[in-house]
Structures are given as C-alpha cells and as structure tokens.
Amino acid sequence: MNTQLDQALQAFDAYNKADPNLFEWDGATYPQEYFLAQKLHEWVLKLCPHASEPLILASRSQHIGRWEIPRKSYPDGRIGYLTWRKDLMRHHARKSDEILRQTGYGADVIERVRAIQLKSGIKQDPDVQVMENALCLVFLQYQYENFHKSNAEKIVNILRKSLLKMDAAGHQAALSLPYSEQGLAYIKDALATLPAQ
C-alpha cells in the first residue's frame, strides 16, 4: 500500500468510527459503518485481487457517513425511499471527495471513485460491477439472516432485486456462503426467477 492510499483509508476509517450505530458480530461490537466498510473492502479484494486504486478507495468509503442522513428524515413510501437513497449516494461521494482532496489525490482519481460510488455504468464497468457484487455479498453474509426473519413475506422480491444487480461471479460467491435452511431456500427461489445470464 502506498502512503497516500494508506492515509486515505485511515481517514475513511476514522470518519466511519464516529458512527453511533453499533453492529455486533462474533461477540464483538463495532461502529456499524466502520465494520461494514472493512467487510466491503475484504469482499472487493476477494472478488478482484488486483483491484484498481480507485476501486479500493471506493470500497472503504462507499457508505461513509451513512448515519448522518437517517431514513426517518424522509417520508414513508417508495418516493421517500428513492429520494433518500439518491441523497445518500451524493452525500457519500461528497465526503469521500473531501478526504481524497485532503490526502492529495487529483481530480482524475476523485472522479473515478465518484463514478464507482454512484454506480455509473453498472453491468458495463467492471469496477462498478465488482462493487455491486461486493455490496450484495456483505448484506448476505452479515445482515441477511436477521433481515429475512422480519421480512419473510417480501424477502424473495427484495433478494431478486439485489441478485439482478449481480453477475454470474457474484451469484456463485453468494451461493458459497453459509445460510440457515430457510435463508438458502429464499435465495434459491429468488435466483430461479432471474433471467438467464
């Protein structure tokens, strides 16, 4: 890791450690976005061992400062949800832009990180596709089992939307994860409804 990259990753981590929301895993407790950013970074490198520097930077800042724009500050319903998601993406990009400028990165790298964060060219841009696969895999590995128990009626449709964004490599990685019997059944049901790739 070069010094500039190391400085940027440490700055992203320091920012995400301020998350007041906590995440429990394997008996330990972490600031939620700090934990999830570490796991996203790990998945990106697992899927793409020779990841570009902008992809590595995006992996640790994809959801930076997420807690600063809570869902409850937007109206209920689909329009409120989509507006929140769009505003969040811009917020993450702005925060990472600031940190990247402070650590000396130029406009070309900053713009490339922003493109990955905003998912420009999904299904066409390899870096964006790796990021989308990794995001879905973090959810499946660390959040899905608790989530599907409280959303049983909607889970197959939610999974289908996530799996549609992934490619074949992402699906293969998803099926390699350990699940409960019911959790795996939902995933297989969702996969069965997808168009052939």
At 146, which amino acid appears? N
Report the DSSP beta bridge partners of residue 173.
Answer: none
pLDDT at 2: 62
Domain ranges, ordered by start, for the chain: 3-127, 143-197
Please write the tens of the pLDDT for every residue from 83-125: 999 999 999 999 999 999 999 999 999 999 999 999 888 788 9
Q: How far is CA 48 from CA 4, 126, 129, 191, in A?
A: 21, 10, 11, 23
Encode 70-100 in three state secondary structure. CHHHCCCCHHHHHHHHHHHHHHHHHHHHHHH
The pTM (predicted TM-score) of the whole model is 0.92
Please write the tens of the pLDDT for every residue from 141-192: 999 998 887 777 788 888 998 899 999 999 999 999 999 999 999 998 888 8
